[in-house]
Chains A and B, each alone.
Chain A
Amino acid sequence: MRKLSAAVFVINIIYSLNSFASPDIQPNMVHEKVLKNGLKVLVKEDRRAPVMVSQIWYKVGASYEHDGITGLSHVLEHMMFQGTDNLEPGEFSKIIAENGGRENAFTGADYTAYFQTMEASRLEVSMKLEAERMHKLKLQEKEFVKELQVVMEERRMRTEDKPQGQTYEYFKALAYTSSPYRNPIIGWMQDLEDMQVADLAAWYKQWYSPNNATLVIVGDVDKEQVFSLAEQYFAAIPAAVFKPVKKRIEVPQLGIRRSIIKQKAQVPYLLMGFKVPVLNSVDDDADIYALEVLSGILSGGNSARLASNIIRGSQVASSASAGYDMNARLPTLFLFDGSPAQGYTAAQLEEALLDQVKQLQTNLVEEKELSRIKAQVIASSVYEKDSNFYQGMQLGMLETVGVGWQKADEYVDKVKTVTAKQLRDVAKKYLIEDHLTVVHMQPEEISNAN
């Protein structure tokens, strides 16, 4: 517990039905304003407690990087706490702390985001500081050398010494060919070793500007006041000229891919993924919502199929789940993962999971089962309102990946329209062997553990 992190970082989102929902029951309006320099400001007033969260989202992350510079977005995120023209290294955090705030940042494949949670009257403190580091970051060699060591320690902790973490890294590199999703968010160790402070300076210059950012404020705030503060602190920052981002669309997969990853581990582990589209990659979104519900049918709770059929029923799995991130910027994977129960192999678990897929392709899901998933989605959309932070995440993420924050409002209604036939159709259309990648993690003897 109490992990200190300049970077919480979103790796493997394997649950998805808790995701994006509409303010059905209590319509908290979202207010939008775009400043002349392109900064988009979103405000959601929620007056339950005298607090607010301020998040600034930049359209840059690991999927914007290319080979040789992987991990750059994330290291830059760390450096954003290490001083600006007017702030000493660490001073940003010190000021937030003195104002009773909690702060952090996270880097994903498609975004880099910074946030402060504070008592509501401190909004101005956070805005002023974020405006400062949007255009006045001071990258210093001494701080960089030290912070790079910190990031390498972070990588060792999350990946090198975590058998499942490392397996996931190799899995992605096998599944994707030309998509930038093949690279780890934290970067390959060699790329971290080769990184120079000049690389960071160029990256910062390229991506950190008001017209590449979204400011999201949720809490006990007044929208007009937020807009006027945003104007006051951000309006003077010049917009940058952007070249269009390269599309880098994944080439078609022409047959199943599989691999074995050996790890110093005790328990075998299986990862499988089918190539699937996302909201941002299609015009007609019907299939996307169907895939979303499909992941719920498989993995949305203890009554869902994986828990029911292969953890409890056949007892082939000790754990198993399915997941789909419909809000990725680029086409992604419909994932399965799990560990076989004692006495079963990863191959047997694979067979059991594929059998579940086959049933979805063959038989219609029962109406009762479908409505249970929908009920969970509707309830979750209310539960999410208990957290300002989560509400801000929804808006910031949808906006940053290119889908648009308005999609949050459609989510529940779109999920409600999904039919059993659509589920069978998307299972047949997308969950096909030629588009599948399978990795078995094989435990190797740990020789010197006692």
Chain B
Amino acid sequence: MRINLAILLGFVTLLVSTHSVAVPVIQHWKTDNGASVYFVPTNGLPILDAQLVFDAGSTRDANKNGVAALTSALLDQGAAGQSAQQIAEKLESVGAQMGVSTSRDFTSISYRSLTDDEALQTSWGVLNDVLNKPDFPAVGFKRERKRTLLGIKKRQESPATLAQLALYREIYNNHPYANAIQGVEETVSALEVIDLKQFYQQYYVANNLTVVLVGGVTQEQAKKMVQELVGSLPAGKKASLLPEVNADIEGKTIHQEYPSQQTHLMYSLPVLKQNDPDYFPLYVGNHILGGSGFSSRIVKEIREERGLAYSAYSYFRPMRENGPFLIGLQTRNEKVTEASTAVKQTLQTFIQQGPTDEELTVAKKNIMGGFALKLDSNKKLLANVVGIVTSGVPLDYLNSYTQKVAAVTQEQIRRAFQQRVMMNNMVMVTVGQSVEQKTNVD
């Protein structure tokens, strides 16, 4: 059996370089009022997915922290004179789905419907009302503000959430990324309907909007629908550039006491912008360090060797301005010293020595061999296209993706980590109970 497995493996690895995946062609146009539109037609399923992405994330909150998130939550709570109930009924009567979400960089409205005439016309009409004519009714505003405040309170129940909030506060300091997306009690309590309306008027404008469509409609249909949807939005202004993140942060360790059985640990610094020239070496390197589950070093050290955690990982999250590189885990309180020592040691060794030749080969096989899995559903296709067009990489990004992965060298990874991941600047946050440590340091 062992020998057979090896033969099989040898055989299939040949396929990595020869197999080709049909990469979708992204069609692009702009509306007269300035919205950027991207469209990928698909065959096979009578479904249309859409995402409307505004540069209106919580970084745009200014001194009204939480206003971006609350504005998006209010969109479907009353529009064009219809109540929240009427809006939901209309949409759901044809089985369509709509959701909003706010991150630090963006606010997105996502939409899914069947493509028969009735479903499409009805649900697109609802989307149109919600996007163009939100009423921000007082009763809905008060209720959603109250629900947000309860959500803010509930964050205090979760050591994982507390750790993440503390980390962002620390590594981003005075930058808008430091703030919680939903805001804090003081700022949310102070919000009024007028704040939401102003936010909407400033940021929900065509020049600040990217529309992505994926699904079973023709380009002609797509053009007509998008025009109908966003054609009458004011052109407005593109949101201004964000301030740069201060790279020179002070490395430190912060502990927050919490009566949990586990301590949640995060170790991080801001590193990576979207469309960064070091992206591929850092991405492939992180795959080996902590981004690929069982085959990654952090999981081997923390979980497989020491049994210290169920989940241990690292990632780079590229954002508009430098997003974090982050290592995270959670372990029983008496083991946090052992875990943090192991994490630092693993990272330090990786930065100094880079990956081995074998690790790099295996990582490339995994990423390249799994390329088809990135694009195997309309949902994933949509997510990829949104990622491409909002980050500013070329539209044919996916065509050269596997070549770029293949081109990464050990030396590039080592150099990129040495230049970008400065351990002296890293912040470690722990949230849990301080107890006497039981350490097995080898």
A binding-site residues for B, Cβ under 8 Å: 1-6, 25-26, 48-51, 81, 85-87, 89-90, 93-95, 97-102, 117-122, 124-125, 128-129, 132, 136, 145-154, 156-157, 160-163, 264-267, 300-303, 307-308, 311-312, 315, 318-319, 339, 341-342, 368, 371-372, 375-380, 382-383, 385-388, 446-450
Contact = CB atoms under 8 A, between A and B. Distances in A.
Contacts of A450: 256-257
Given A150-B303, A161-B261, A339-B150, A124 B8 contact: yes
Given A49-B372, A161-B260, A161-B262, A125 B9 contact: yes
A98 B13 contact: yes
A153 B366 contact: no
Nearest to B16: A100
12 contacts: A119-B371, A120-B372, A121-B15, A146-B305, A150-B309, A264-B259, A266-B153, A266-B156, A267-B150, A302-B76, A303-B91, A375-B92
A161 B113 CA distance: 39
Nearest to B77: A312
B150 A386 contact: no
B307 A146 contact: yes
Interface residues of B, number: 91
Interface stretch (B81-89, B203-211, B245-253, B386-394): B81-89
B208 to A, nearest CB: 27
A26 B93 contact: no
Contact of B93 (A99, A375, A382, A387): A375
A271 to B, nearest CB: 16
Contacts of A382: 45-47, 114
Given A90-B295, A153-B332, A375-B95, 13 more contacts: A50-B19, A90-B304, A99-B9, A146-B305, A146-B306, A156-B260, A160-B260, A161-B260, A162-B158, A266-B157, A302-B88, A318-B147, A341-B150
Task: Determine which residue in A4, A94, A267 has the highest number of CB atoms from chain B within 10 A of its CB, and name it.
Answer: A4
A24 B332 CA distance: 50
Given A93-B294, A94-B362, A382-B47, A5 B311 contact: yes
Contacts of A152: 332
A91 to B, nearest CB: 9
Contact of B373 (A1, A6, A100, A378): A100
B368 interface: yes
Contact of A449 (B5, B156, B306, B332): B156
- Please list the 4 inter-chain residue pairs (A to B) with the smallest Cβ-Cβ separation, ordered nearest first: A100-B369, A379-B95, A149-B307, A303-B88
Interface in B297-337: 299-300, 303-313, 315, 330-332
B12 A379 contact: no
Contacts of A148: 307
Contact of B308 (A102, A149, A375): A149
A318 B257 contact: no
Contacts of A379: 94-96, 113-114, 119
A319 B15 CA distance: 50
A308 B85 contact: yes
Given A4-B299, A150-B307, A267-B150, A446 B156 contact: yes
Contacts of B153: 266-267
A318 B373 contact: no
Contact of B262 (A3, A87, A157): A157
A102 B295 CA distance: 11
B372 A93 contact: no
Nearest to A143: B304
Contact of A86 (B2, B8, B258, B311): B2
Contact of B310 (A100, A154, A385): A154
A257 to B, nearest CB: 26
B112 interface: yes
Interface in B1-37: 1-2, 4-5, 8-9, 12-13, 15-16, 19, 21-22
Contact of B311 (A50, A125, A157): A157
B313 A302 contact: no
B195 to A, nearest CB: 21
A448 B258 contact: yes
A267 B159 CA distance: 15
A3 B310 CA distance: 9
A120 B373 CA distance: 10
Interface stretch (B170-178, B268-276, B376-384): B376-384
Nearest to B95: A379
Task: Determine which residue in A153, A302, A368 has the highest number of CB atoms from chain B within 10 A of its CB, and name it.
Answer: A153
Given A49-B376, A100-B373, A146-B304, A341 B147 contact: yes
Contact of B259 (A125, A150, A386, A448): A448
A125 B12 contact: yes
Contacts of B365: 97-100
B146 interface: yes
A386 B378 contact: yes
B217 interface: no
A379 B310 CA distance: 37
B385 to A, nearest CB: 15
B169 to A, nearest CB: 13
Contacts of B13: 98-99
Contact of A100 (B8, B370, B375): B370
B94 A341 contact: no
A341 B315 CA distance: 36
A312 B95 contact: no
A78 to B, nearest CB: 10
A119 B13 CA distance: 12
Nearest to A385: B45
A123 B202 CA distance: 52
B370 A4 contact: no
Nearest to B433: A448
Task: Determine which residue in A318, A380, A387, A447 has the highest number of CB atoms from chain B within 10 A of its CB, and name it.
Answer: A318
